[in-house]
């Protein structure tokens, strides 16, 4: 789902819902930018809950079929103000930022905050460094993309080692809280945010510090 910078957004590509249902076309409350693995799950449940959404994706492959299901779709670079305007970001309430490319994600946040500051942003983060970048821009609803599944897997492994279900689940939940607090704590002590994105060496150094902190505290 890498963003193709050369793609000109084809703003006139609209779904049948928009054509058939002009009276409510300004009332779509949720925008989902990035309709890959994460955005699709969000969209599927919103649809089941009968909450309307508009999807934006860099590629037409992800979203073309959505037309048949009455969802609006736009493809192109979601950090472009014209694409966001066409998708009626001014009328939405929630902006689900589910792209997997770190730089595209941060670029989209900047555009959305500048032009549509009323939107609540819920952001997918690739890793800790990406999360720092989002926090630095003031985005607080940050979801690290592999954390939930890592904890589910961990709980199962603990059960496989003979721990009772409740103890395994508690360990996963305590670790989640501990690691979120640690993320925020570490973030506060960062000063050079511009350099925080995707620097592998820094990530390893930080992981080392995490292990040191784990050893000091009763994390699970």
Stretch of 13-21, 79-87, 102-110, 212-220 lying at the interface with a copy of itself (CB under 8 A): 212-220
Of residues 177 through 196, those in contact with a copy of itself by CB under 8 A are 179
CB 31 within 8 A of CB 94: yes
Which pair of structure tokens corresponds to residue 189?
Answer: 């002590």
The residues near 91 (Cβ < 8 Å, ≥ 6 apart) are 26, 27, 28
Q: Assess 218 for contact with a copy of itself (CB under 8 A).
A: yes
Q: Assess 151 for contact with a copy of itself (CB under 8 A).
A: yes
What is the C-alpha radius of gyration for the chain, rounded to an integer number of angstroms? 20
Angstrom distance (rounded) from CA 145 to CA 128:
10
The pairing of strands 72-75 and 94-97 is: unpaired
Residue from 30, 55, 99, 112 touching a copy of itself (CB under 8 A): that is 30
Q: How far is CA 129 from CA 12, 174, 186, 213, in A?
A: 36, 22, 11, 18
Stretch of 42-50, 80-88, 106-114, 189-197 lying at the interface with a copy of itself (CB under 8 A): 42-50
Q: Which lies closer to a copy of itself via its Cβ, residue 46 or residue 135?
A: 46
Residues that bind a copy of itself (CB under 8 A): 29-30, 37-38, 40-42, 44-49, 51, 61-62, 65-66, 68-69, 93-94, 96, 98, 120, 122, 124, 127, 141, 143-154, 156-158, 160-161, 163, 171-172, 175, 179, 200, 204, 207-208, 210-211, 214-215, 218-220
């Amino acid at each position: 789902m890498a963003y193709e910078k050369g793609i000109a957004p084809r703003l006139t590509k609209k779904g049948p819902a928009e054509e058939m249902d002009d009276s409510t076309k300004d009332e779509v409350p949720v925008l989902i930018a990035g309709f890959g693995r994460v955005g699709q799950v969000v969209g599927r449940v919103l649809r089941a809950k009968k909450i309307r959404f508009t999807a934006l994706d860099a590629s037409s492959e992800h979203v073309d079929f959505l037309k048949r299901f009455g969802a609006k779709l736009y493809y192109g670079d979601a950090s472009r103000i014209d694409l966001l305007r066409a998708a009626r970001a001014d009328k939405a309430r929630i902006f689900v930022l589910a792209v997997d490319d770190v730089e595209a994600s941060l670029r989209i946040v900047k555009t959305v905050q500048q032009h549509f500051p009323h939107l609540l942003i819920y952001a997918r983060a690739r890793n800790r460094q990406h999360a720092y970048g989002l926090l630095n821009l003031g985005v607080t609803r940050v979801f690290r993309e592999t954390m939930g599944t890592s904890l589910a897997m961990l709980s199962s492994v603990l059960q496989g080692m003979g721990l009772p279900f409740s103890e395994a689940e508690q360990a996963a939940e305590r670790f989640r809280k501990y690691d979120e607090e640690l993320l925020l704590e570490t973030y506060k002590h960062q000063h050079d945010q511009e350099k925080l994105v995707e620097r592998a060496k820094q990530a390893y150094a930080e992981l080392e510090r995490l292990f040191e902190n784990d050893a000091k505290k009763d994390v699970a």
